[in-house]
Structure 1
Amino acid sequence: MKIRNLRLLPLLGLTSLISLNAAAVTVEHKPTDQIIIKFDNANVEGNSQARTLSTRLNKKLAFVRKTSQGSYVFRLPSRENFSSVKAYLKVLKAISGIKYAEADQMMFAINDLAVPPTEGIVGTKKPIYDLQWHYFEPVGGMNADGAWNQLDSSDSVVNVAVLDTGITAHPDLDANVIGGTDMITAQSISNDGDGRDADPSDPGDWVSRGECYLGSKASNSSWHGTHVSGTISAFTNNSAGVAGVGYNKINIVPVRILGKCGGYTSDIADAIVWAATGEDNPNKAQVINMSIGGAGSCNATYQQAIDTAVAAGTTIVVAAGNSDDDAGNYTPASCNNVISVASTNRAGGRAYYSNYGDVVDLAAPGGETSTGARNGVLSTLNEGTTVPAAPTYAYYQGTSMAAPHVAAVAGLLYVKKPSVTPTEVKTILTSTARAFPDSCVQCGSGILDAGAAIAALDGSVTPTEPAAPSNFTAIAGAGTVTLNWSDQSTNETGFYIEKRRKFSNQWGTYRSVVRAAADSTSYQDSVFGGTYQYRIRSQNSTGDSAWVVSGEVSVSRN
């Protein structure tokens, strides 16, 4: 299947893009006011237990609810530092009849290290898919069109659950969103006036300074779940906006687990089970994406929920974390039976913030906006600073952005083979990842390669490597360069074009110009005056052909 005209996608009439960093985790344990307890007796009475345990702790506990895994959640009078909560846990663990006691830790998707929005501004007539370098560039990209080329109209559609801040309305995403739920129990963080319900809409997660705990920072709403969802399943080939890796074969099931100040582990664990088992959920997910995290190694609450989901045939993809640290110190990245994803930059090396370590399975493009806003990951977002406003697009960076690339390809494996197992999915993704072109120590087996992953399913035969284009010329005009070439292949999925400029008689580095469609044989590039050189190569799911370089071309100002 040829991918047609993806380079001609306009911006839905919107005037600008935002650029922020979406961090997946925090460095240290944050205060919490809840505790999770598993009793030997599976059917204790919660309120009476709260009274008994309050006496033992000399601290009033209130019973909140029983979880889907049979543990019980109790609330303290107020949020306390983790050191204080650990002291309570020590007492509880020594009580006969208690199997385990854990802090109900807060998980986060926090926005910080903002890049000035002006660096991300793009005119309304500029193409958008061309800005999604993370899909197609041969150095830092993940070969999305290599996977798309192997899809067929008869392939089934699958569900990917996005456990995050919920979702906002977006014309480039709405058609691929089904069902969903709000799993946030506490009204203090839900920000929608109630507890759990069937509405996964994101009302915003903005906070004031000190609202979450002493010294916590103020922040605007992140719309994190909308951004993650767009990478997985923004509507593709609709002549508008961005593309999603799922290429209209993946439905998003939004599950709201994060509100103001984050979300509780107990709610997230229930959300995992809800999404995977199909109990009270008519849209069972084949894949779960969790671009979230918090400090500490995997606890029993998380692990039990994850094991339940995997046993139900669901693959779980998680962000490794953004703390430039060993991912084994963070959760859920350190849990068993997940695919833990590190982040690479546009050069294919480890992004400066990305966690690493033995628990990391592979890496995927997560961007690095510190080197320029457009070096981040572009996806769907919302313009509101607090409550939802108009839909837009934004560059974010983070392992939060890397994970959905992997989750989407995992979803495509289910599209091609509905009976594939989570173990098979993990093996295929890690074994087909390509080598890092730049330094990425302890980042797993390599960079996600979507085309190779789909081709490896059941030993499918991959197309032969495409031939290089020929007769590649660059012809100068006033403020433009017209590129022409001959197509030597019948099996390419597109052409990569890059250029470099000469400064003081020295060439700069090559920069991406466009990802031209497979049926293209020409392209016009708008430039300032100067001397340029262009290069082109073709690509399919097997790989890239050799670069073909044009001669120098001198361009006058228009």
Structure 2
Amino acid sequence: PSPPEGAVAPPGYTFSTDSVVVRRLAAAQASPTSAVSPGSTALPGNAALPGAKPLFAGRYSAYQLPFPVSRAHLERAGLEALPTFVDGAGRLAGGTAGLSVQLSRPERLAEVTRVAGSFGFPAPEKLKYGANLYYLQGNDPWVALEARAALAALPGVSVEVDMVRQHEETYHPLDPLFPRQWHLENRGDRDSVRGVDGRVAEAWDLNFGRQRVVIAVNDDGVAINHKDLYFDILAPLNYPEDWESRVAIGAFGGHGTSVAGVAASNGDNGTGGSGVCPGCRILPNWFGEFGSSGGVTDKDIADGFTRIVDGGAWVINNSWGAAGGDPRFQVSQFGVVVIPQLVKAAFDYAETDGRDGKGTVILFAAGNSNQLMNDYGSYDSVLGVTAVDDQGLKSYYSNYGPKVDIAAPSNGGLNGITTTAAPDGYTNAFGGTSSACPFASGVAGLVLSANPNLTAAEVRDILRASATKIDPVWGEWENGFSPYYGAGLVNAYVAVRMATGCSDPADCQAPSDACGNDCAGEQCAPCRTDANCAAGYRCQALPALGEQVCVAEVGSGSCPAGTDQVGDYCIPQPSTCGVCEAEERCNGRDDDCDGAIDEDADCQTQWCIQDGAGCGDTGQCAGITCSTACSASSPCAENESCDVVKDRYGHSVMSERACNTDLSAGCPAGCQLLASSLPDAELKDFIDCMEDGAAACSAVNACAVKLPVSF
């Protein structure tokens, strides 16, 4: 719908020309949905929008429209059209009838009340979580938009429309599944690189977590009756009345249950696996509807944080954020989103009022688009968490940038994360920065269990100071900071030691990291940290070898035979380090040292985890999997696009293009189609490649070549 004449979009936004955010009018709540023709979107009342594409639906809904629709048409359908905007990155937002107002001085309140009253607003509501921060709740979002402009003209007044936005999940001891939990203790099983973990198992020798420490899971809900969670779970916040029936059909808690398990599922109880802080308690908070299911306003988000803080949380995990792009192919970069003042104020409230003034620690997943991290994770009092795979390198999808704080283990290599799954099971394939973030939240829980008197700022400092520097070759380290890992890979053992008085991280190392008599390793020598390597060498994880080894700095000379120069380092070839095997295995490596990767007839995995190698003459490595190379003279098939590829670090070269078929986007529908249309015999190779469902989710890109269909 066209905006009324004279309507002005808020700064940083323009009115949307092809989409609309709506809410149901009260009289239409009980109206039956009309029968509609194929290709039409059903609306309450007696109207339909032919060709309209639903974007999300819930308390607020949004549609992409194929043609202009008037506000009157929507009203006849029982819908109120909200002022609908797009930001600089093209993301949709709908203006509600609420306004947040922040005053430079309390004396401004009288004038704000007068001006707001002239637009029909009642007296402003004072919010407890911001200095001179008020909320105005009106009835008409278009009047609120007009009032915003008038209030913004007052000196010393900052005013924002409370927006509906679409958020997405940043989207996956004695316990029998513990051996699969490489992120807690990596022994090199299942082709993972030994020693790539967060030193959690050793931290448990210091403490297992304390029940007084509460880790809030701000997500799509948690299945609180899960056998590996219920013992230490608190009464949930903001749950809908029908949450139990929704869990049963897979419509609630699918993401949050796995997040909660990574952070703090019960440990040493003979069931399932263990969380990072198994002695900590979990406080679930239902964020609201993610993705295509609904919209959540800025005030909803801010109120959620204050509700969690008031509920006694010590740590708040947030495995969600603004939507992003494709991690394997180059798309327009999204700019850094300005954090709404309501949310900033809620973050500040957590910092100043949480835990009786010591502050609540807030962590955010960096995102899964292999692009610059933006929005909430970049705020000063928030920790932004990126992901490291089981090969010891940046997970190919993980976002990056100058505001990254720390990294934590997740999927993206050869193994996913084993954790709880709704309603009462387990998965081996959780991942994304959605999994890295609760890992770091669990470590924060261990730190606070060791020293409950620490402030939130002190916990953040400890997590950064204790982190392990990894990936010196490709990590782009400068002055102790990497845009991919921040301060480094989180180290639970060192962090807990620092919480109890050890001031120098070098003096707090885990027992497994003590080099003993192996402190002078040279080329190819196995290592866990730089302490194992001689002067002039650094410890580097090399997927090609399946090991962390000492690699030489080039210095003033040149690299010797049997090594390749990469940046400032000499990277040994597999044959140089004597790791050649008799036969090739399906793991993205040149196991038999014949110069080809996974080349055997039974081993066409399409992995290219080895610094982009393995795609042959006709392929390009996109992220960590091969795609068919393309150009203007060699176009892609129908329904494919010839796009610039990105490597795992987000780098791209305009001349390196490949055919882009996003397998993951259609996974649910695609799986249903395959299961219903292909005989079991034709699915066998794919099922075997996916290890009967036990493989990491990222393996689907590689295993898809086993299907007797073309994508």
Indicate whether 1:326 and 2:372 are aligned.
yes
| Letter aligned with residue 431 of structure 2 | Q
| Letter aligned with residue 134 of structure 1 | H
Match of 1:503, SS state, is coil
Instruction: Find the aligned partners of 1:160 and 1:448 in 2 and give their Cα distance.
Output: 17
2:467 corresponds to which residue? 433
Equivalent residues in 2 for 1:392-411 (5 A)? Answer: 392-393=426-427, 395-411=429-445
Contact kept in structure 2, 1:202 and 1:223, CA below 8 Å: no
Indicate whether 1:159 and 2:187 are aligned.
no
Instruction: Find the aligned partners of 2:371 and 2:245 in 1 and give their Cα distance.
Output: 30
Which of 295, 305, 312 is the aligned partner of 1:272?
A: 305
CA radius of gyration, larger in: 2
Equivalent residues in 2 for 1:57-456 (5 A)? Answer: 67-69=127-129, 70-72=133-135, 74=137, 93-94=152-153, 98-106=157-165, 108-110=167-169, 127-137=176-186, 138-151=194-207, 157-168=212-223, 169-182=225-238, 192=241, 203=246, 223-247=254-278, 249-259=279-289, 260-276=293-309, 278=310, 281=311, 284-294=312-322, 296-311=337-352, 312-313=357-358, 314-327=360-373, 330-368=374-412, 375-382=415-422, 390-393=424-427, 395-437=429-471, 439-441=474-476, 442-443=483-484, 444-456=486-498
* Change in 2 beyond 3 A, CA 1:440/1:261: farther
**How does the TM-score come out when normalised to structure 2?**
0.48
| Letter aligned with residue 179 of structure 2 | D
Match of 2:307, SS state, is helix
Instruction: Find the aligned partners of 1:105 and 1:324 in 2 and give their Cα distance.
Output: 26
Instruction: Find the aligned partners of 1:270 and 1:507 in 2 and give their Cα distance.
Output: 46
Instruction: Find the aligned partners of 1:428 and 1:331 in 2 and give their Cα distance.
Output: 23
| Letter aligned with residue 165 of structure 2 | M
Match of 2:281, SS state, is strand
Contact kept in structure 1, 2:222 and 2:253, CA below 8 Å: no
Instruction: Find the aligned partners of 1:395 and 1:297 in 2 and give their Cα distance.
Output: 33
Instruction: Find the aligned partners of 1:231 and 1:300 in 2 and give their Cα distance.
Output: 31
Q: CA deviation at 1:67?
A: 4.8
* Change in 2 beyond 3 A, CA 1:297/1:508: closer
| Letter aligned with residue 162 of structure 1 | V
Contact kept in structure 2, 1:162 and 1:288, CA below 8 Å: yes
Contact kept in structure 1, 2:339 and 2:376, CA below 8 Å: yes
Contact kept in structure 2, 1:363 and 1:447, CA below 8 Å: yes
Instruction: Find the aligned partners of 1:134 and 1:28 in 2 and give their Cα distance.
Output: 36
| Letter aligned with residue 470 of structure 2 | F
2:76 corresponds to which residue? none
Instruction: Find the aligned partners of 1:396 and 1:110 in 2 and give their Cα distance.
Output: 12
* Change in 2 beyond 3 A, CA 1:145/1:465: closer
Instruction: Find the aligned partners of 2:411 and 2:437 in 1 and give their Cα distance.
Output: 12
Instruction: Find the aligned partners of 2:244 and 2:90 in 1 and give their Cα distance.
Output: 29
Give the count of matched residue pairs. Answer: 393
What's the CA shift string for 1:219-239, capped at 9, x where partnerless? Answer: 965622111111111111111
Instruction: Find the aligned partners of 2:433 and 2:513 in 1 and give their Cα distance.
Output: 32
Provide the identity percentage. Answer: 24
Instruction: Find the aligned partners of 1:467 and 1:345 in 2 and give their Cα distance.
Output: 23
Instruction: Find the aligned partners of 1:251 and 1:504 in 2 and give their Cα distance.
Output: 46
Q: CA deviation at 1:362?
A: 0.9
| Letter aligned with residue 502 of structure 1 | A
1:550 corresponds to which residue? none
* Change in 2 beyond 3 A, CA 1:205/1:432: farther
| Letter aligned with residue 255 of structure 1 | N
Instruction: Find the aligned partners of 2:590 and 2:448 in 1 and give their Cα distance.
Output: 37
Instruction: Find the aligned partners of 2:255 and 2:213 in 1 and give their Cα distance.
Output: 22
Q: CA deviation at 1:332?
A: 1.1
Contact kept in structure 2, 1:107 and 1:265, CA below 8 Å: no
Instruction: Find the aligned partners of 2:366 and 2:298 in 1 and give their Cα distance.
Output: 17
| Letter aligned with residue 171 of structure 1 | K
Instruction: Find the aligned partners of 1:202 and 1:419 in 2 and give their Cα distance.
Output: 41
For structure 1, which runs of at least 5 residues remain unmatched after alignment? 1-25, 55-60, 115-125, 184-189, 194-199, 207-218, 383-388, 470-496, 512-558
Instruction: Find the aligned partners of 2:585 and 2:367 in 1 and give their Cα distance.
Output: 43
| Letter aligned with residue 145 of structure 1 | A
Contact kept in structure 2, 1:253 and 1:285, CA below 8 Å: yes
Q: CA deviation at 1:307?
A: 1.4
| Letter aligned with residue 230 of structure 1 | G
Contact kept in structure 2, 1:106 and 1:262, CA below 8 Å: yes
| Letter aligned with residue 166 of structure 1 | G
| Letter aligned with residue 232 of structure 2 | N
Q: CA deviation at 1:262?
A: 4.7
Q: CA deviation at 1:171?
A: 0.6
Contact kept in structure 2, 1:159 and 1:252, CA below 8 Å: yes
Contact kept in structure 1, 2:93 and 2:166, CA below 8 Å: no
Q: CA deviation at 1:105?
A: 4.8
Instruction: Find the aligned partners of 1:506 and 1:231 in 2 and give their Cα distance.
Output: 28
* Change in 2 beyond 3 A, CA 1:256/1:202: farther
**How does the TM-score come out when normalised to structure 1?**
0.60
* Change in 2 beyond 3 A, CA 1:129/1:152: closer
Higher RCO (CA < 8 A, seq sep 6+): 1
| Letter aligned with residue 495 of structure 2 | A
Instruction: Name which of structure 1's ranges 433-442 and 420-429 shifts more when overlaid on structure 2.
Output: 433-442
What's the CA shift string for 1:275-316, capped at 9, x where partnerless? Answer: 22x3xx3xx121111222127122321221111211232111
Instruction: Find the aligned partners of 2:453 and 2:345 in 1 and give their Cα distance.
Output: 23
What's the CA shift string for 1:195-222, capped at 9, x where partnerless? Answer: xxxxx8794699xxxxxxxxxxxx9656
Contact kept in structure 2, 1:166 and 1:182, CA below 8 Å: no
What's the CA shift string for 1:336-367, capped at 9, x where partnerless? Answer: 21111111222222222222111111111131
| Letter aligned with residue 381 of structure 1 | A
